Chain A
């Protein structure tokens, strides 16, 4: 049975393995399952990056009609990813720092790290310097929802705070507490 790749309506190229029915079954053999999980992780992160999706919930596999339908359901072979299977995949991703449970202390929703927080910190710093906001105080809203679309558009506040915290460690940013919302000031480079 020849398997073929498939391009979704959103333009994402699904691998050929996605059309193999066993791919949707949780394999009893742990080494086989490791391969399956690895491919699923790659598909999920790739698709998240493609669609700029930051969150993934178990419900996405349970209920049809969400952002993830193209990935979790394969109508051509009549297969879908079962919530249990997704949960083990998410657990594996959280273990490898490819995602983090958000909010913490539950296992039904994750924040996907298709860029690691360190990478996001770099992206943020580059963007700030390129837009000339150095040494000025910026609100979070200005970063997540800039008038001109940026790589950071739509970034969840949780992730943004992590990125800022990383910059603050190296002295490139400073959190400023304010009554009506937090602000942040960026510095050109290490050292004040």
Chain B
């Protein structure tokens, strides 16, 4: 019974950090726990994890995390008991629960659950500050900037009962709502005869006034409320005390960790984080009459202070959002897995489909009508889904190789080289048939990163590869380790070469130094001197790459250059170096023969 009354169901599929209020902190967690409702086991809550935060206790069920998870406000906990366990009986922590309203002190520190309200932002009536959602109920009750209670103006009385009546406890206790409603903050001004402070401007009005003299804000009526406040203890007998003995739940620690958890729980209970703001508020309210302490919370100083603290919280928010990102990553991994599964299934059906149609042709009428449908519709759908997956970067014929798949680093590097080979040269002829590329032109050009080109700069390869992987990116250091192995996994073998300038490229055999030099020499012999641009066009290379390759060939002495800087007229500012086949190599002197005789 206690379980149903004091707990609120939560969606356990949401990561815990996302469930917390802005001013709430996760303190400890433990898995492998079961819950006792009173003395008996609660059948629905026997396998799960328990988390304790500064405000609440969460139980997240392992099996049915969405339906069976719940949260308990620590404000309800009146006492705890620890049982160390004996033989087969595991360690348990007993939490005694009580309604904070029924047992609460007059200080108004008790927290009426505003769970429904804390989920939305609201504008303060006094300073027009828009309070962000996500604060704990206690914190959400007052404006974050000026410290004025939220419903102080509009609904001082009516909102409280309505909100508290939505709690399971209150709904089951018809007698308590009106009383608990009256037991709340502004009512309990200790000096009955004297002034009433205005909730908006803190001006002390005469007790008989209904509206504030200064700002015309409706004043809380003190005398009508004090009497019920005093009668608040009387509400206790009204609540069904016959169930008192069952007002506890037990947490059974089947996998240990009980001591750590219990001490964390005690700390949270002692910290009373849910009371801090309420207590501040309560402390401010009675002293309004004196007009001293109120200044520290409201006024310019208060606002400045709040702005200062909000800067602090913004910092911590940033760190919280990083935690959110972590939670997101967990989901992303799942999504990639789903995509891979989907892809596999599509591949399976697309290979099945042609077989089915073939069967139909051979056996004629025997094939059911459904198979005739599949070949016509399936490819379009499949390509659509696949292209969507590809656009999301989730196209994975095989999921990226990561270190944890491999036993040792050597094998890992080799697997990476194999994967890189596929990225560069497409996934081989067998899979090229159902290539995922959208345009047929691309398909003909080869699906790999290299396509028709025989030479690629290293940075482009690295970028392209990581784009293809999508997750588990490869650092440059590993990339460089992989490259030497690449030639054994590619056909034609792709090798790396580094030019004098330090530019590194991957290239196929036609772009080795020797092959290129031979081609270049024949080009220059046939067509005469050429500029770098001409060569780049001829070889379908970028100008930069062509320049690098020509310099390399020149270094080997196969060609020589003609620099227009040595022109007599129009000394080549815009002129380009022209490349000649090496005219000096086979040159035989045909100039003047010196007359060595003494003339």
Contacts and interface: CB of A to CB of B under 8 A. Distances in A.
Interface string B545-566: 0000001001111001111011
B594 to A, nearest CB: 5
B441 interface: no
B194 to A, nearest CB: 100
Interface stretch (B57-65, B233-241, B583-591): B583-591
Contacts of B131: none
Given A15-B590, A22-B560, A28-B561, A82 B584 contact: no
Contacts of B580: 20-22
Contacts of B585: 35
A142 interface: no
B583 A17 contact: yes
A77 to B, nearest CB: 9
Contacts of A85: 566
Given A78-B568, A78-B569, A79-B567, A21 B562 contact: yes
A3 interface: yes
Interface in A107-142: 123, 126
Interface in A12-44: 12-18, 20-29, 31-32, 35-36, 39, 42-43
25 contacts: A5-B590, A12-B592, A14-B592, A15-B590, A16-B587, A16-B591, A17-B591, A20-B583, A21-B529, A22-B562, A23-B584, A27-B560, A28-B561, A32-B584, A39-B587, A42-B591, A50-B592, A73-B568, A78-B567, A78-B569, A79-B567, A80-B566, A80-B568, A82-B566, A126-B598
Contacts of B531: none
A185 to B, nearest CB: 23
B528 interface: yes
Interface in B513-569: 528-529, 551, 554-557, 560-563, 565-569
Interface of A: 1, 3, 5, 12-18, 20-29, 31-32, 35-36, 39, 42-43, 45-46, 49-50, 73, 75, 78-82, 85, 123, 126, 151
Contacts of B587: 16-17, 35, 39
A20 B583 CA distance: 8
A28 B589 CA distance: 22
B41 interface: no
Contacts of A13: 591-592
Nearest to B528: A1
Q: Which of B560, B590, B594, B598 has the most CB of A within 10 A?
A: B560
B555 A28 contact: yes
B205 interface: no
Main secondary structure of the interface of B (DSSP, over half): loop
A14 B589 CA distance: 10
Given A20-B580, A42-B589, A81 B598 contact: no
A12 B584 CA distance: 21
B560 A29 contact: yes
A78 B575 CA distance: 13
Contacts of B591: 5, 13-18, 42-43, 46
A79 B568 contact: yes
Contact of A75 (B528, B566, B568): B568
B582 A32 contact: yes
B578 interface: yes
Contacts of A1: 528-529
A5 B529 CA distance: 20
B590 A16 contact: yes
B370 interface: no
Given A13-B591, A15-B590, A151-B599, A29 B555 contact: yes
Given A16-B587, A46-B592, 16 more contacts: A14-B591, A15-B589, A15-B592, A17-B590, A21-B578, A21-B580, A25-B562, A25-B566, A29-B560, A35-B584, A39-B589, A49-B594, A50-B592, A78-B568, A79-B566, A151-B598
Contacts of B567: 78-80
Contacts of A80: 566-568
A36 B563 CA distance: 14
Given A22-B583, A46-B592, A126-B598, A32 B566 contact: no
Nearest to B556: A29
Contacts of A29: 554-557, 560
Contacts of A17: 583-584, 587, 590-591
Contacts of B563: 25-26
B554 A3 contact: no
Contact of B557 (A18, A23, A31): A31
Contacts of A82: 565-566
Question: Which one of B528, B529, B578, B592 has the greatest number of beta carbons of chain A within 10 Å?
Answer: B592
B583 A81 contact: no
Contacts of A27: 554, 560-561
Task: Return the 9 tightest CB-CB contacts between A and B, nearest first.
Answer: A15-B591, A21-B562, A13-B592, A35-B584, A25-B563, A22-B560, A22-B562, A24-B566, A22-B580
A25 B578 CA distance: 11
A168 B64 CA distance: 117
Nearest to A25: B563
A46 B593 CA distance: 8
Interface string B255-284: 000000000000000000000000000000
